[in-house]
Amino acid sequence: MPEAAPQFCIPADIPQRIFRAYDIRGIVDETLTHNIVYAIGLAIGSEAQAQGEKQIIVARDGRLSGPALQAALSRGLQDSGCDVIDIGAVPTPVMYFATFTLQARSGVVITGSHNPPNYNGLKIVIAGKTLAEDKIQNLYRRIVEKDLEKGVGGYSKVAVIDAYIKRVCSDIQLQKNLKVVMDCGNGIAGSTAPALLKALLAPANGELIELYCDVDGTFPNHHPDPSVPDNLRDVIAAVAEHKADIGLAFDGDGDRLGVVTSAGEIIWPDRQLMLFAKDVLARNTGATILYDVKCSKHLASVIQENGGQPLMWKTGHSLVKAKLAESGALLGGEMSGHIFFKERWYGFDDGIYTAARLLEILATDATQNKRSSSELFATIPDSVNTPELKVNIPEEEKFGYMQRLIAQAKFSNADMITIDGIRVEFADGWGLVRLSNTTPCLVLRFEADDQTALKRIMKLFRTQMLAVDSSLELPF
């Protein structure tokens, strides 16, 4: 640490609401101050030592608040007695990679992911496991109850991006030259993805067209969230202008991928997952493929048709990652864009590695079948569906509402799945209502074989939801 590092203290009041289901997240200088992050560092270091971990990797994304918050985090970890290994400004998946390849199995990245520039947060791994739910709440408990270790930890710096790139390039070689448009949205993926893709494309004389790959925490061009169609307009335009084979886009911390075909079509993550599942199952018949409750019903069919075992699970990158390890699945993913490769990789969500695997599939198919990316994805089932729909509901009421809905709802000739909210599957489509783990709202999604079936299913859900609470304002 620098000799002139500031002094930190544990605040008297730390807002519990920043301790979310999958991570810690708040507004910088309001709910996430330097002293709050220092206290969180003490708690993480204490919990790590309780699990026999003494060394902790620390990283940050490209937000302007990152360096100061990382300094506060590092000081907290050191004051708990942990040794800090600083790997600098890197994508979140590079931090995960470091926990598998350095001498430390624990790590923390300061990242606001796809949130506005004034947000930041922490994603945490202890002893190889990403913290979620009660384990994140336990950090809050440690701070409040002052259940904190004291010590003097060391500090060192290690560079890992080159090792990450080398590892990916040792796994993936492209059989054909491709022209690729890549939009990093000024997020931290720009520190790593351009160099990696150039290294992959170079042997076959491929071409990379870069959009917004300079890291800038103000995000001056567009928000770094590829799940929002408006944020993909520049990629779509560049693919058309350059007659590119594929367009790729990353979120703010590089753990999610957006895809645009050669014809300018957006391929949502559940359809990406169908293509990846077919590829993985071609080499691993009978493998389990994991996906979250928001994904297309076609995904299970594609997995089964290609000799795999479909497994639906709760939404949330930490929850999917844990289930992937528990189930032994070789591939997992969720509608948000987190894709997890266990086959040939480590099982964590990695938008950059996912992009590399997609290029591998495209190059192989172009060589063998002479198809464009648009033609290849045309072989993947599609359906009529809605985006995520959100219904505002007070935080203190949403859990009770969901319990009543599950207890009272009556859907005939349908299968009801309640692993995460309520998903009702009909012969010609499905509907979902689940609780947001991060905001005071319900999240809904609908899919059907045609528009008529979609409207029928939405009407059924509307009737059942209003029967539980007639005051809800439904957006459908």
Amino acid at 118: N
Dist CA 219 CA 204 (whole Å): 33
Q: What is the pLDDT of residues 420-430, one digit of tens each?
A: 999 999 999 99
Rounded-to-5 percentages of helix, strand, coil across the chain: 40, 20, 40
pLDDT for 4 equals: 54
Looking at domain 16-159, its CATH superfamily turns out to be: Alpha-D-Glucose-1,6-Bisphosphate, subunit A, domain 3 (3.40.120.10)
CATH architecture observed for domain 162-377: 3-Layer(aba) Sandwich (3.40)
Task: Extract the residue ranges of the chain whose pLDDT is less than 70.
Answer: 1-5
Length of the chain: 476
User: Which residues are catalytic, by number?
Assistant: 113
H/E stretch holding 280: helix 269-283
User: For 235-363, where are the E strands, in sequence order?
Assistant: 246-250, 257-261, 266-267, 288-292, 309-313, 331-333, 339-341
Q: Is 380 helix (H, G, I), strand (E, B) or coil?
A: coil
pLDDT for 401 equals: 97
Amino acid at 74: S
Is residue 127 within 8 Å of 52, Cβ to Cβ?
Answer: yes
Q: Is 417 helix (H, G, I), strand (E, B) or coil?
A: strand
H/E stretch holding 369: helix 351-369
Where does the chain hold its CATH 3.30.310.50 domain(s)? Answer: 384-468
Token readout for 392 is 């505002």
Region of residue 372 (phi > 0: left; psi between -120 and 50: alpha; otherwise: beta): beta
CATH fold of 384-468 reads TATA-Binding Protein (3.30.310)
Q: What is the pLDDT of residues 242-265, one digit of tens each?
A: 999 999 999 999 999 999 999 999
Q: Which residues pair with 107 in a beta bridge?
A: 57, 125
Is residue 63 within 8 Å of 216, Cβ to Cβ?
Answer: no
Question: Within a 13 Å sphere around the CA of 176, how many CA atoms are in the beta-carbon half?
Answer: 19
Sign of CA dihedral 461, 303, 232, 183: positive
Dist CA 427 CA 409 (whole Å): 18
Is residue 289 within 8 Å of 309, Cβ to Cβ?
Answer: yes
H/E stretch holding 443: strand 441-448
pLDDT for 5 equals: 59
Where does the chain hold its CATH 3.40.120.10 domain(s)? Answer: 16-159, 162-377
